[in-house]
Amino acid sequence: MIRISFILWAVMLLVWCAMRYPAMRRARRQKTRVDNRTVLDISLLTLCFLGLVVMPIAWRLDLFSDFADRGQPVPVLVLGMLTGAVFLWLFRRSHKDLGRNWSVTLEVREGHQLVTGGVYAHVRHPMYASFLLWGLAQVLLIPNWIAGFAGLAAVLALYAVRQSREEAMMRQTFGGEYDAYCARTKRLIPGVF
Protein backbone atom coordinates (compact mmCIF):
# COMPACT_ATOMS: atom_id res chain seq x y z
CA MET A 1 0.00 0.00 0.00
CA ILE A 2 2.87 2.37 0.83
CA ARG A 3 4.41 1.78 -2.58
CA ILE A 4 1.10 2.64 -4.29
CA SER A 5 0.63 5.82 -2.25
CA PHE A 6 4.17 6.98 -3.04
CA ILE A 7 3.71 6.23 -6.74
CA LEU A 8 0.49 8.27 -6.74
CA TRP A 9 2.32 11.14 -5.01
CA ALA A 10 5.22 10.89 -7.49
CA VAL A 11 2.85 10.94 -10.49
CA MET A 12 1.16 14.02 -9.02
CA LEU A 13 4.58 15.68 -8.67
CA LEU A 14 5.58 14.83 -12.25
CA VAL A 15 2.29 16.14 -13.66
CA TRP A 16 2.78 19.34 -11.64
CA CYS A 17 6.31 19.75 -13.08
CA ALA A 18 4.98 19.24 -16.61
CA MET A 19 2.36 21.94 -16.02
CA ARG A 20 4.71 24.41 -14.32
CA TYR A 21 7.57 24.23 -16.84
CA PRO A 22 5.86 26.08 -19.74
CA ALA A 23 4.67 28.83 -17.38
CA MET A 24 8.18 29.30 -16.03
CA ARG A 25 9.64 29.50 -19.56
CA ARG A 26 7.01 32.07 -20.53
CA ALA A 27 7.59 34.08 -17.32
CA ARG A 28 11.33 34.32 -17.98
CA ARG A 29 10.60 36.07 -21.28
CA GLN A 30 8.32 38.67 -19.66
CA LYS A 31 9.76 41.99 -18.53
CA THR A 32 9.23 42.83 -14.87
CA ARG A 33 7.87 46.27 -13.96
CA VAL A 34 7.79 45.86 -10.16
CA ASP A 35 9.89 43.33 -8.26
CA ASN A 36 8.99 42.85 -4.58
CA ARG A 37 11.04 39.69 -4.02
CA THR A 38 12.76 39.39 -0.68
CA VAL A 39 15.12 36.91 0.92
CA LEU A 40 12.16 35.79 3.04
CA ASP A 41 10.11 35.01 -0.11
CA ILE A 42 12.91 32.96 -1.62
CA SER A 43 13.46 31.20 1.72
CA LEU A 44 9.77 30.30 1.99
CA LEU A 45 9.71 29.00 -1.59
CA THR A 46 12.76 26.88 -0.76
CA LEU A 47 10.97 25.62 2.35
CA CYS A 48 8.00 24.64 0.17
CA PHE A 49 10.31 22.73 -2.16
CA LEU A 50 11.84 20.92 0.79
CA GLY A 51 8.44 20.13 2.34
CA LEU A 52 6.57 19.20 -0.84
CA VAL A 53 9.34 17.40 -2.72
CA VAL A 54 12.42 16.53 -0.67
CA MET A 55 10.75 15.25 2.52
CA PRO A 56 8.52 12.64 0.82
CA ILE A 57 11.48 11.40 -1.23
CA ALA A 58 13.66 11.23 1.90
CA TRP A 59 10.90 9.26 3.61
CA ARG A 60 10.62 6.82 0.68
CA LEU A 61 14.40 6.36 0.68
CA ASP A 62 13.91 5.24 4.31
CA LEU A 63 15.98 8.07 5.74
CA PHE A 64 13.45 8.25 8.57
CA SER A 65 13.95 4.54 9.41
CA ASP A 66 10.20 4.08 9.99
CA PHE A 67 10.21 6.93 12.52
CA ALA A 68 6.77 8.62 12.70
CA ASP A 69 5.19 6.25 10.16
CA ARG A 70 1.46 5.70 10.42
CA GLY A 71 -1.14 3.42 8.88
CA GLN A 72 -2.49 3.93 5.36
CA PRO A 73 -6.12 2.77 5.08
CA VAL A 74 -7.54 2.45 1.56
CA PRO A 75 -10.18 5.21 2.03
CA VAL A 76 -7.42 7.66 2.99
CA LEU A 77 -5.45 6.66 -0.10
CA VAL A 78 -8.49 7.21 -2.33
CA LEU A 79 -9.18 10.58 -0.68
CA GLY A 80 -5.54 11.54 -1.24
CA MET A 81 -5.80 10.62 -4.90
CA LEU A 82 -9.00 12.66 -5.33
CA THR A 83 -7.50 15.63 -3.49
CA GLY A 84 -4.44 15.40 -5.73
CA ALA A 85 -6.64 15.41 -8.84
CA VAL A 86 -8.48 18.54 -7.63
CA PHE A 87 -5.12 20.16 -6.82
CA LEU A 88 -3.82 19.51 -10.34
CA TRP A 89 -7.02 20.77 -11.97
CA LEU A 90 -7.05 23.98 -9.90
CA PHE A 91 -3.33 24.52 -10.44
CA ARG A 92 -3.69 24.14 -14.23
CA ARG A 93 -6.79 26.32 -14.32
CA SER A 94 -5.05 29.05 -12.28
CA HIS A 95 -2.08 29.11 -14.64
CA LYS A 96 -4.29 29.13 -17.71
CA ASP A 97 -6.43 31.97 -16.37
CA LEU A 98 -3.40 34.06 -15.35
CA GLY A 99 -1.56 33.55 -18.63
CA ARG A 100 1.25 36.09 -19.02
CA ASN A 101 0.44 37.69 -15.66
CA TRP A 102 1.91 34.81 -13.61
CA SER A 103 5.21 34.90 -11.76
CA VAL A 104 6.64 32.64 -9.08
CA THR A 105 7.59 35.60 -6.88
CA LEU A 106 5.95 38.92 -6.02
CA GLU A 107 6.32 40.71 -9.35
CA VAL A 108 4.21 42.87 -11.63
CA ARG A 109 4.91 42.29 -15.31
CA GLU A 110 4.97 44.85 -18.12
CA GLY A 111 1.37 45.09 -19.37
CA HIS A 112 0.13 43.26 -16.27
CA GLN A 113 -3.66 42.99 -16.13
CA LEU A 114 -5.92 42.25 -13.20
CA VAL A 115 -7.38 38.78 -13.82
CA THR A 116 -10.92 38.42 -12.47
CA GLY A 117 -12.28 35.70 -14.77
CA GLY A 118 -12.18 31.91 -14.67
CA VAL A 119 -11.35 30.55 -11.22
CA TYR A 120 -10.34 34.08 -10.21
CA ALA A 121 -14.02 35.04 -10.39
CA HIS A 122 -14.58 32.78 -7.38
CA VAL A 123 -11.40 33.17 -5.28
CA ARG A 124 -8.56 35.69 -5.23
CA HIS A 125 -5.81 33.17 -4.59
CA PRO A 126 -6.59 29.92 -6.42
CA MET A 127 -2.89 29.17 -6.90
CA TYR A 128 -2.35 29.22 -3.12
CA ALA A 129 -5.53 27.17 -2.72
CA SER A 130 -4.13 24.61 -5.14
CA PHE A 131 -0.88 24.40 -3.18
CA LEU A 132 -2.83 23.93 0.04
CA LEU A 133 -4.64 21.05 -1.69
CA TRP A 134 -1.25 19.64 -2.71
CA GLY A 135 -0.16 19.77 0.92
CA LEU A 136 -3.38 18.06 1.98
CA ALA A 137 -2.98 15.38 -0.71
CA GLN A 138 0.53 14.77 0.60
CA VAL A 139 -0.78 14.36 4.15
CA LEU A 140 -3.17 11.71 2.84
CA LEU A 141 -0.73 9.93 0.50
CA ILE A 142 2.49 9.93 2.53
CA PRO A 143 1.86 7.84 5.67
CA ASN A 144 4.44 9.56 7.84
CA TRP A 145 3.63 12.28 10.35
CA ILE A 146 6.70 14.35 9.43
CA ALA A 147 7.06 13.88 5.67
CA GLY A 148 3.28 13.86 5.20
CA PHE A 149 2.69 17.19 6.95
CA ALA A 150 5.93 18.94 5.89
CA GLY A 151 4.48 20.29 2.64
CA LEU A 152 1.25 21.56 4.17
CA ALA A 153 3.16 23.32 6.96
CA ALA A 154 5.49 24.98 4.44
CA VAL A 155 2.64 26.15 2.20
CA LEU A 156 0.75 27.56 5.18
CA ALA A 157 3.87 29.51 6.18
CA LEU A 158 4.27 30.84 2.62
CA TYR A 159 0.63 31.86 2.42
CA ALA A 160 0.66 33.51 5.87
CA VAL A 161 3.62 35.71 4.91
CA ARG A 162 2.95 36.43 1.23
CA GLN A 163 -0.80 36.86 0.98
CA SER A 164 -0.96 40.30 2.58
CA ARG A 165 2.14 41.49 0.71
CA GLU A 166 0.74 40.25 -2.58
CA GLU A 167 -2.60 41.95 -1.98
CA ALA A 168 -0.83 45.21 -1.07
CA MET A 169 1.15 45.00 -4.33
CA MET A 170 -2.03 44.38 -6.32
CA ARG A 171 -3.82 47.24 -4.54
CA GLN A 172 -0.92 49.57 -5.33
CA THR A 173 -0.96 48.48 -8.98
CA PHE A 174 -4.71 48.37 -9.63
CA GLY A 175 -6.18 50.63 -6.90
CA GLY A 176 -9.98 50.75 -6.68
CA GLU A 177 -10.39 48.06 -9.32
CA TYR A 178 -8.61 45.62 -6.99
CA ASP A 179 -10.63 46.80 -3.98
CA ALA A 180 -13.86 46.13 -5.89
CA TYR A 181 -12.56 42.69 -6.84
CA CYS A 182 -11.73 41.94 -3.17
CA ALA A 183 -15.22 43.01 -2.13
CA ARG A 184 -16.84 40.39 -4.35
CA THR A 185 -14.44 37.45 -3.91
CA LYS A 186 -13.08 35.47 -0.98
CA ARG A 187 -9.40 34.61 -0.60
CA LEU A 188 -9.28 30.80 -0.79
CA ILE A 189 -12.70 29.15 -0.48
CA PRO A 190 -15.58 30.49 -2.60
CA GLY A 191 -18.18 32.21 -0.42
CA VAL A 192 -16.45 31.18 2.84
CA PHE A 193 -12.92 32.53 3.32
The domain spanning residue 63 has which CATH number? 1.20.120.1630
pLDDT of residue 3: 85
Answer whether residue 105 is part of any domain: yes
Give me the domain span that covers residue 154: 2-184
Answer whether residue 41 is part of any domain: yes
Residues in the chain predicted with pLDDT less than 50, given as ranges, are: none
pLDDT of residue 169: 95
Answer whether residue 31 is part of any domain: yes
Q: What are phi and psi of 192, to 5 degrees?
A: -120, -60
In total, how many domains does the chain have? Answer: 1
Answer whether residue 193 is part of any domain: no
pLDDT of residue 176: 96
In Å, what is the CA distance from 43 to each residue of 21, 24, 32, 150? Answer: 21, 19, 21, 15
Answer whether residue 60 is part of any domain: yes
Kindly report the pTM of this predicted structure. 0.93
Answer whether residue 140 is part of any domain: yes
